Amino acid sequence: MPTIDDRGAVSAMKIEFVGARESADSSAVLAAPVFEERQFSAAAKALDEKLSGAVTRALAATRFKGALGQSADILAPEGLDVGRLVIAGAGKKKTWDAATAELFGAHVYQGVKASGAETILIDLTHASAAEAARAAFGAQLAAYRFDKYRTTESAEKKPSIAALKIMAAAPAEAAQAFEPLASLADAVAFARDLVSEPANVLYPEEFAHRVRRLADAGIEVEVLGEAEMTTLGFGALLGVGQGSARESQLAILQWKGAADPAAPPIAFVGKGVCFDTGGISIKPADGMEEMITDMAGAAAAAGALYALARRKAKVNAVAILGLVENMPSSTAQRPGDVVTTLSGQTVEVINTDAEGRLVLADALWYCQDRFKPKFMVDLATLTGAIVISLGKDFAGLFCNDEALAERLMAASKASSDALWRMPLPAQYEKLLESQAADLKNVGPRHGGSITAALFLQKFTAGLPWAHLDIASTAWKPASTVPTIPNGATGFGVRLLDELARGYED
């Protein structure tokens, strides 16, 4: 069987910042921003004057108003050495900022990626260096494409863009501002790669193998196998994986960037169910193929550590990844089984498809017991109920600490990884009471996301903790967000990277 490069999905688009419009061949596209109600930017105004009002005339013949994402084309414009001029909507001039610039860059890329052009030139000479950098970041995120298993795709369907040039007033400053963003985009791509892989390629041991490579970035990586976890007492995690021929793993990633490498770290804990059939409580066939994404929490946690390492963040951080497969077999866990968790608490397994919380129960306890972190944030594609509650654009935030919740909400706003705060009502804990054990792994159908979070809280030892239910945001089969192509989103990487900034030395 041929070996397939496991990083073959990352966009190789070359990105540059230039100070003046450069000579370009006929395959290039020039994009100029126009604000709402056709308020020309300086760049667009200069172009219109150079083309003797051709831009004004072209827009008058269209419904273009300048809304973000709108565009109007002028093919082979006379007087310009480019093959195509795109007038790109930039939204309201008064609300233009770095976040808008990011979406603008993504929209421009999405609009011309399969046009046959090889180069995009985006004139942002009106913008700040930070805004120019964010536009490039948006285009880089938009250019992600997981295509390494496609062997017969026609050239016409493949993106043709190989280079992006951002024209900036201060190109050197913009390039400097882009450096950490480029690293962050690569970390998001790393997480997207993991989530996109099919389960026959990415199983627990292979996942552990890939994160071992992060040692090249300065991350300490340790992996526990089933023998070590059995000795330690990981009864809940191992119970989930016992029906699979694949060995379960626990990956421990440490980044020591603080002035004191022994200072308490911040901690991220990720659910890494590399494929989830539901086990004996098997899922319906419809949509089960998307269960390759049930390790998106672990992918995000690993990607966040990678992002911190790439930018040499001055913080200590640890990521704990619980990696299993949930399969039905003669050795699989059964409904009614009782398992003893690493904490010593016993759990009656009512539904084997509520497996993620069992994996996290042991991973959370191990994290707080070994590392004594400042706080823990777990990420998991945990419940379908969160999708019913919040739709596809918000992840659910459950938190036992107000200060941590506030920081997460601020990081959400800054990173565009959207969170919505959900309740943790103590009176719902009775819904997890079991007649056979200390608690059961599911409550009734109503409030399913809440009881799942309350279950996890039992394994935090009172430490500041937040649970992010990302079942709603980890995968977008038909994305409407320009920075996110269809499929894996990498949700959580940007959020955790932004959160970590508040804890740096």
- The set of catalytic residues is 283, 357
Rg of the chain (C-alpha set): 24
135-167: pLDDT as tens digits: 999 999 999 999 999 999 888 889 999 999 999
Instruction: Report helix, strand or coil for 438.
Output: coil
pLDDT of the residue at 75: 83
C-alpha–C-alpha distance, residues 324 and 208, integer Å: 11
Rounded to whole angstroms, how far apart are CA atoms 341 and 453? 17
DSSP state for residue 72 in the 8-state scheme: E
According to the model, what pLDDT value does residue 1 have? 27
Q: What 3-state class would DSSP assign to 218?
A: coil
H or E segment at 384?
Answer: none
Q: Measure Cα distances from 336 to 435, 440, 451, 501 in Å.
A: 11, 9, 19, 44
For residue range 45-89, what is the model confidence (pLDDT) as tens digits?
A: 988 998 999 899 989 999 999 999 999 998 877 878 888 999 999
Residue 149, helix vs strand vs coil: coil
Per-residue pLDDT, 140: 97
Indicate the helix (H) or strand (E) that contains 139. Answer: helix 129-142
HSE toward the beta carbon, residue 80, CA cutoff 13 A: 28
* List of the chain residues with pLDDT < 70: 1-11, 21-25
Strands of the 316-326 sheet, one edge to the other: 220-224, 249-256, 316-326, 266-276, 376-380, 465-469, 395-399, 419-421
CA-wise closest residue to 393 among 474, 453, 452, 468: 474
What is the pLDDT at residue 3? Answer: 31
pLDDT value, residue 4: 34
